[in-house]
Amino acid sequence: MDDRAEPQERELRVGVVGVGQRADLATLANRPGLARVVSCADPSPRGQGDARRLFGADVTVRERYEEMLDDDLDAVFVLTPDDLHTQPALFFLEAGIAVFVEKPLAITLADCDALLSAAFRTRTRLYVGHNLRHLPMLRQVRALIDTGAIGRVRAVWCRHFVGHGGDFYFKDWHAERARTTGLLLQKGAHDLDVMHWLAGGYTRNVVAQGTLAVYGGNPRRAEQAPPEHERMPDWFDPEIWPPSKLRDLNPVIDVEDLSMMLGRLDNGVLTSYQQCHFTPDYWRNYTVIGDEGRLENFGDGIDGDPATIKVWNRHRSGFRDDADLVVPVAAAAEGLHGGADRSLVEEFLRFAAAGGPTETSPVAAREAVAAAAAATTSLRAHGTPVDVPALDPALLAYFDHHQAGPAPRPLGGHQAVAEAGRGAGGEAREPRP
């Protein structure tokens, strides 16, 4: 990726919106000479305290992200809960500040398209945190596909065993449709993006089935939310088994804990995605079938553990464990998600400073949400087939060219703030943390 728009002239000044469970990601942006986190915004006392702990006593800490425009930022990480991504991301895009949005890009297709449209109109760089594209195991899978190890891809399957689903997704806001749309979107956006990436296309039609099979009957908390200062690591206990023994679940649980979807991509590839939140093990298994073989991973390396990719592509047989090609993927020496997070942040900082191609894509992030939202509609309509709307061709062309293009006349300071504070119809927008 050498076609940078311009060399970096100074250390980037970086902001963080939402200093919660995922804030550790932004600590990777503190790179002397390249970037430094100088400003954070979070409405909670715990988030504000964590900002100082993670980024140092000199970091500017604010309650409202709108105040961060006074901090001369070059780039910002939006690490809020999923349903709170859109407003701060739009705000900073309007202000001309490069934006990193944690996945999923948004919880509705309309919000995704609003974000892409804003980035297109303002020519402000938008980046989405689909870190699995940087996961060593999946990069090796992609390399095997690219070298023709299994011929032309015809099908991609993913089984996602979410062994800690009860603790991770059913004790707080993740369990509510209003906050996530559903776990096929919130949790599945990663996998759907990977499946699109490996298959070389985007989903255009889906059917799905799902149910709340286990966690609908577990005892729930009386209050609407966990105490303000608590986060998932505070209550997580991997020793509780079986899942029916979990207590203190969210009072509102209206998402599915078991989901299955089938998709047809625009290039004819068929996909299958299965997600279960009460398995004893926690990992992802991808199977990619071509017209000259198939490959499959055993272990995924996300927690830094080793993984193995097996390829069967020499001859037909019955079951045999001795694959024709075995590719070990070493455990990561350090770093979150097998080192993928560090690579993700490095790419964002380079992109924010210089532009150019990236492994991740706002269009791909939009397509993952679009497929997941359509599948959620299907499963809640008892498996009715649902078409996935395609993106506006003008937006597709812009992002296919890595968001390169002449910048329109920029909005001046106070004008930018005023425009960013208004909705699509010109009405005043409520500020959101």
Give the pairing type, strands 258-265 and 270-276. antiparallel
pLDDT at position 412: 33
Cα separation, 16 vs 231, whole angstroms: 18
Burial class (CB in 10 A: 0-12, 13-18, 19+), 302: buried
Cα separation, 190 vs 179, whole angstroms: 17
User: What are the strands, taking DSSP E only, across 74-202?
Assistant: 75-78, 98-102, 126-129, 153-161
pLDDT at position 413: 35
The string over 92-124, giving b where at least 16 C-beta atoms fall within 10 Å of a residue's C-beta and e elsewhere, is bbbbbbbbbbbbbbbbbbebbbbbbbbbbebbb
Which residue, 21, 73, 20, is CA-closest to 43? 20
pLDDT at position 334: 66
Model confidence, pTM: 0.90
Check whether the bond before 251 is cis (ω within 30° of 0): no
Task: Decide: 226 and 208 in contact? Cβ < 8 Å.
Answer: no
pLDDT tens per residue, the chain (433 residues)?
444 445 557 899 999 999 999 999 999 999 999 999 999 999 999 999 999 999 999 999 999 999 999 999 999 999 999 999 999 999 999 999 999 999 999 999 999 999 999 999 999 999 999 999 999 999 999 999 999 999 999 999 999 999 999 999 999 999 999 999 999 999 999 999 999 999 999 999 999 999 999 999 999 988 766 666 689 999 999 999 999 999 999 999 999 999 999 999 999 999 999 999 999 999 999 999 999 999 999 999 998 789 999 999 999 999 999 999 999 998 776 666 888 999 999 999 999 999 999 999 999 999 999 999 999 999 999 999 999 999 999 999 999 999 986 544 333 333 333 343 333 333 322 222 2
In this structure, the number of other CB atoms found within 10 A of the CB of residue 56 comes to 12
pLDDT at position 119: 98
Unique residue bearing structure tokens 């269009």: 363
Task: Decide: 283 and 299 in contact? Cβ < 8 Å.
Answer: yes
pLDDT at position 210: 98
Give the three-state DSSP class for 183: helix
pLDDT at position 405: 66
Unique residue bearing structure tokens 């009405």: 427
pLDDT at position 305: 85
